[in-house]
Amino acid sequence: MTNLVTLSNVTYKRNLKIIIDHLNLQLPQNNIIGLLGANGAGKTTLMRLISGVVPNYKGTIRIGTATTNTARKQVASFSQILTGVQPNARLTEIANYCDTLYSDFSIDVFEKIIASLDLDGTEKLSALSKGNRMKCVLAVTLARRVSLYLLDEPFDGIDSMTRKRLIKSMLTWKPDNATILISDHHVEDIANILDQVVILKHQMVISQKSAEEIREKDGLSIETYYENIYEGGVDHDQSHDNL
Amino acid sequence: MTSLMTTFKTFLRPRFKTTSAFLIATFVATIISLIIIVWNTHSFKNTNISNFILMYAAIGGLALFIKLAQNIEIVWTHNYYRLIPISETKLYLSNFLATLVCLIYYSGVQVILFLLWELILPTAQLQISLFSLPWLRLLPPAIVSVLLCLFWWVFISLIHMATNATAAFLPNTRVRLVRWLIYLVFIIIFSILISQFNRLIQFFFGNPDNASFLMLFTGLSLLIVIISAINIYLLKRWVETTA
């Protein structure tokens, strides 16, 4: 399996605290990978590091051939893109902004996604409910045709029906060969679509395993496996071996 | 990668709209003030109009200066802008270039309107002081004013970036205290600069000869370039977006 993302010996400190400590990780192409971990485990930071918005870290991060922060921004689409957008901006204005600045942004895909999620492009971002805002975030993120999608808790605070629609959308609009790294607290909601699971604890990856193996070989659900890892029920060293 | 020109145009568009709104607001304010005065005094003095144009242009200019400073600063710390696949140097240049164009647009329109009014209904005093001068002599004060605005903008960015970068190295409990200490240092530097500039500017506007203009022009340009180089370094190496 070809690796799309490689992190080697990545360390990141902030406010005199180590957030990511000598982290090594490889993510394959054309996979949906669940990034799991408790609050403060470093999931968002890891995504920020991969996306290229964090300048001061040690180690190397590579997406395909892209190693610099600027180059990584070109090949990865990060769901935190709407941080800082003017609240009175209309969805179509945001789409036009992205269309101008990102050569891989597809207005056509954006319009299809928002139509499928019952969003109106003329609405202002500030007028959207939390659920609709998350739909918009997903539409903007997936409208870019890139090789890596970083979805940071895209279903946070969303009801189960909407969550299912967002997951369906995600699967529909994911380009072939693209990889999705998705973090979520509700493991059970995304468990069925995952190809792989990466678990973060103590500022590093303590487990990376294929979902199929967890289910078939270990006979566990993803959720149980995750809970066992966190409670120390599964040997961490073994959990890396089976990829 | 996204080009400097594309980013510049994208930044310029909303700021141009904002600037136009400020221009319209100053015209409307001038007209309303005139109507009130004519209504109350039943007389129409031409000097009123020139005075009102100047007064509202100055008030609007100050408000626009602050609004554009906000627009500049939001770019450094928000993913909506920092995720653009462009180098930090180009991001910095496009941000300032777009703001500079808006400042020139605002000042240009105000000057043209003022001069047009003076052509239509000349004020005796201004006729002598303004139109007796060669037009080229208006250029150095205009250039100095633009450079001054640019200087304050890059200086504000330096404060913002320095506090943001320093905060990353402090424990969470001390961030606020140190931030205030940094602000204090910058306020002292700011006060010293203000007094020095005041002397230079008074000297320049008192003796607007070529030598004093060249001195001020070179000094300001040099300071802008030096501060910008520091800003770009901070942006590239230390300034993070808010999560």
* Tens digits of residue pLDDT in A63-84: 999 999 999 999 999 998 888 8
Query: Which tokens belong to A1?
Result: 């399996």
Beta pairing partners, A63? A5, A66
Regarding whether B55 and B39 lie in a shared domain, the answer is yes
- The segments of chain B whose pLDDT lies below 70 read 44-48, 121-137, 206-208, 243
Regarding whether B7 and B51 lie in a shared domain, the answer is yes
Regarding whether B182 and B105 lie in a shared domain, the answer is no
Q: Does residue A241 have a pLDDT over 50? A: no
pLDDT at A233: 56
Indicate the residue among B81, B106, B132 that finishes a domain: B132
- The distance of B120 to chain A (nearest Cα, Å) reads 41
Q: Which residues of B touch A70 (CB under 8 A)?
A: 1, 85-88
Regarding whether B156 and B122 lie in a shared domain, the answer is no
Distances (CA, A) of A181 to A29, A52, A141, A158, B71: 11, 15, 12, 19, 32
Regarding whether B105 and B52 lie in a shared domain, the answer is yes
Regarding whether B211 and B192 lie in a shared domain, the answer is yes
Q: Does residue A23 have a pLDDT over 70? A: yes
Place of tokens 């954006």: A110
Of A209, A157, A211, A210, whose CA–CA distance to A184 is shortest? A157
Regarding whether B84 and B50 lie in a shared domain, the answer is yes
Indicate the residue among B132, B156, B172 that finishes a domain: B132
pLDDT at A68: 95
Regarding whether B127 and B25 lie in a shared domain, the answer is yes
CB spacing of B82 vs A74 below 8 angstroms: no
Regarding whether B168 and B72 lie in a shared domain, the answer is no
Residue A42 — left, alpha, or beta (φ > 0 → left; ψ -120 to 50 → alpha)? Answer: left
Regarding whether B85 and B58 lie in a shared domain, the answer is yes
Structural domain count, chain B: 2
- The distance of A39 to chain B (nearest Cα, Å) reads 14
Model pTM?
A: 0.89
Of A53, A85, A100, the CB nearest to B241: A53
Indicate the residue among B132, B161, B185 that finishes a domain: B132
Regarding whether B139 and B113 lie in a shared domain, the answer is no
Q: Domain range for residue B233?
A: 134-243
Regarding whether B51 and B140 lie in a shared domain, the answer is no
